[in-house]
Structures are given as C-alpha cells and as structure tokens.
Amino acid sequence: MAKLGDDEQGLWRRWRARGEAAAPEPDAMALAAYAEHRLDERAAEPIENWLATDPSAWAEFEAARSAARHEGAHVDAALIAKACALVADMAAMPADGKVVPLRRPAPAWRSALAWSGIAASLAATSLVGFTMGSDAYRSLSRTQVTEAMATDALEASSTLDTYFSDDSGT
C-alpha cells in the first residue's frame, strides 16, 4: 500500500485508545470455516470482531492456519499407542454386551464389620455421655442437699434466738 499519512495512523490510534473489550472467541468450526475463506462477510463478522479486538487472536489464528497446511511432525509409537488406548475395543468385549465393572464388589463381611463399627462407636459415645451426665447430676444434687441443711440450721438458730429474746422480755 502507498505510504499512509500520519494523520490516518493518528486517527486509528485515537480510535484504538478508547479501549474496546475483547470479543469472545468463536467456536472452532466457525474459525476453521473462516480460515478456509468459506464464510461471507456477514457470517465472518463475529470472527473478525474477535480478531480485531483480542490482541493475541490474530497471531494465534495465523499460527493455527499455517500448522494446518503442513505435514505433521514425527510421533513416537508409544504416544500413538496411548492415544489409541483412549477408545476401547468393542470387539474385545463380551458378546452379550455385559460391561465388566472396574471396581470389585466388597465382600459381605466387610460391610457387616463396617456397620458393627458404627454401632459400637455410637454405643460407646452414648455410654460416656450418660456417665458424665449422671456424675454431674450427682455432684449437683449433693451440693443442693448441703446448702439446704445449712439453711435449715440457720433458720433453726434464728427461731431459738427469737424464743430466747421473747422469753427474756417476759
């Protein structure tokens, strides 16, 4: 292009400086169609908006497009085997379609043992709680009895005082 004037670049910079939020990344299918120039201008709008507003989008998009044009790199056999193993061989599965569970079912005694453990811990907790509660009640009631006896003794002595004082007056 003929050298563009500074004022045009300046106008663009002023426009850019207003700051525009990056548009969301389009889905891979739309991007692939755009990369192969299969979209019209209207359909290309969301992609071009993303490319124009996300600073890293253009480089990323160009890199993907250029990678698609080249033959692939050499890949280790081990990596291929690992990727192949991601999909199970249906033919190797039993003919009746029964799927072998990956987790072994737990034996019945283990379940019984687990429930017994829970029951025993509940019983132990209840016993400890009951014992502690009873002790607290016993010590509390003993204190109350002592206090009641002391009050009775004091009341008795005050009655005697009254009696004697009344008596001295007569």
**Which residues are near another protein by CB under 8 A?**
1, 4, 8-9, 11-20, 25, 27-29, 31-33, 35-38, 41, 44-46, 48-49, 51-53, 58, 60, 62-65, 67-68, 70-76, 79-80, 82-84, 86-91
Helices 41-53 and 28-35: angle between axes, nearest 10 degrees: 100
Q: How far is the CB of 18 from another protein (least distance, A)?
A: 4
- Between 40 and 167, whose beta carbon lies closer to another protein? 40
- Between 88 and 95, whose beta carbon lies closer to another protein? 88
Residue type, 99: V
Q: Which long-range contacts (CB under 8 A, 24 or more apart) does 48-54 make?
A: 49/23, 50/22, 50/23, 50/24, 50/25, 50/26, 52/23, 53/20, 53/21, 53/22, 53/23, 54/22, 54/23, 54/25
Q: How far is the CB of 119 from another protein (least distance, A)?
A: 42
The position carrying tokens 């700051």 is 19
- Between 41 and 166, whose beta carbon lies closer to another protein? 41
Q: How far is the CB of 122 from another protein (least distance, A)?
A: 42
Q: How far apart are CA 50 and CA 56, in angstroms?
A: 10
- Between 75 and 160, whose beta carbon lies closer to another protein? 75
